[in-house]
């Protein structure tokens, strides 16, 4: 692998003053813009074992663009093993992690890395990450999968199997909520399990001496169809609703499901992609494990034809842009 990672984890372990490239403009700093009132809004929790799970999921996707899924069928030991190998990877010596460094010049997003300043005015984010494809098998490059720690490949392959099942279920429920056949959304995005691309990421947010000046991740919506996220119990994830930021409360055993840009667009705005960001702690490391569900690269970004029929206009028009082009523009902060 090429490239040298300027690790935030290493920086945090020997930091004196906070480097200026991490300091956010005053209006972006978290304490001044976060609502922590006596009764903060509660992100919807959907019990996927109940008969009304589909309608609850649809309501959450319309109103929030995010929900916490419980009784989701993913075994606790599979989640725990995924977390174990992620934690142990970031505990390895830096030279071992560096073997998997991503090369920004290559245009590839897979590998071990940190934030890149794409323009002089950009602010870096306070996090490192490991990122690689887990499905379909033909798209997987095991060169980006660490050989250490023990069991890394097995843990990710086992978790991937559960994510493929959960992905189908979420897409079926959300399709039905639009009045489409259950398989319509999956068919549009990829035509089945081997058309959808699942990307596994491990985020590492080390303690920061001045957390009120930085962000672990800047405000954004996910460019994919949707995201399934495992988080530890350290607070940090925040979502925006009605122009205000709210802390996401930790629900033990839950998986976070975030609606992304492609579902918002395909639904013609009936579902909303959630705007979210990550804050960091002064004392504690925070970690999260998102799986991003991507359409096939040649998918044309547009509302579903049946949702713009008759007198209902399309709210989105990307001039037949493919998902590959959409992704390139969003990553590089170019107009769509």
Q: How far, in Å, CA of 135 to CA of 164, rounded?
A: 8
Choosing from 128, 222, 247, 325, the catalytic residue is: 222
Task: List phi, psi (to 5°) of 173.
Answer: -65, -45
β-bridge mates for residue 114, sequence order: 128
Measured between alpha carbons, how far is 174 from 60 in angstroms, rounded to an integer? 10
Residue 222 known to be catalytic:
yes
Tokens standing for residue 264: 């918002």
Which of the residues 220, 241, 315, 321 is marked catalytic? 220
Q: List CB contacts of 333: < 8 A, sequence separation 6 or more.
A: 118, 119
For this structure, is 294 an active site residue?
no
CB 274 within 8 A of CB 242: no
Q: What is the three-class DSSP state of 145?
A: coil
Is 220 annotated as catalytic?
yes
Q: What's the Cα-to-Cα distance from 21 to each of 12, 25, 115, 120, 286, rounded to whole Å?
A: 14, 11, 11, 9, 21
Using alpha carbons, list the distances in angstroms from residue 44 to 34, 174, 179, 235, 285.
Answer: 19, 15, 22, 17, 26
Q: Which of 72, 276, 294, 304 is catalytic?
A: 276
Active site residue 276: yes
SS3 for 134?
A: strand
Of 201, 247, 294, 325, which residue is the catalytic one? 201
| Residues that are catalytic | 201, 220, 222, 276
């Amino acid at each position: 692998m090429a490239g040298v990672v300027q690790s935030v984890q290493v920086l945090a372990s020997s930091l004196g003053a906070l480097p200026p490239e991490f300091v956010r403009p005053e209006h972006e700093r978290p304490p001044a813009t976060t609502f922590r009132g006596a009764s903060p809004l509660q992100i919807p929790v959907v019990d996927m074992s109940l008969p009304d799970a589909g309608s609850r999921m649809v309501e959450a996707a319309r109103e929030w663009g995010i929900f916490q899924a419980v009784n989701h069928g993913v075994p606790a030991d599979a989640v725990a093993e995924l977390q174990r190998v992620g934690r142990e990877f970031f505990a390895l010596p830096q030279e071992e992690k560096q073997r998997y460094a991503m090369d920004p010049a290559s245009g590839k997003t897979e590998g071990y890395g940190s934030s890149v300043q794409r323009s002089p005015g950009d602010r870096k984010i306070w996090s490192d990450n490991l990122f690689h494809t887990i499905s379909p098998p033909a798209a997987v490059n095991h060169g980006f999968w660490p050989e250490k720690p023990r069991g890394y490949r097995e843990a990710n392959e086992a978790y991937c199997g559960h994510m493929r099942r959960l992905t189908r279920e979420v897409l079926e429920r959300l399709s039905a909520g639009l009045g489409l056949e259950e398989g319509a959304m999956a068919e549009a995005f990829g035509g089945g399990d081997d058309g959808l691309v699942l990307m596994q990421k491990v985020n590492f947010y080390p303690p920061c001496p001045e957390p009120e000046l930085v962000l672990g991740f800047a405000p954004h919506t996910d460019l994919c169809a949707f995201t399934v996220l495992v988080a530890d119990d350290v607070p940090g994830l925040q979502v925006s609703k009605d122009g205000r930021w709210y802390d996401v409360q930790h629900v033990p055993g839950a998986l976070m499901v975030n609606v992304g840009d492609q579902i918002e667009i395909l639904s013609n705005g009936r579902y909303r992609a959630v705007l979210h960001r990550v804050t960091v702690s002064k004392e504690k490391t925070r970690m999260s494990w998102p799986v991003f569900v991507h359409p096939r690269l040649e998918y044309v970004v547009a509302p579903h034809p049946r949702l713009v029929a008759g007198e209902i206009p399309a709210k989105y028009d990307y001039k037949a842009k493919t998902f590959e082009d959409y992704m390139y523009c969003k990553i590089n902060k170019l107009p769509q």
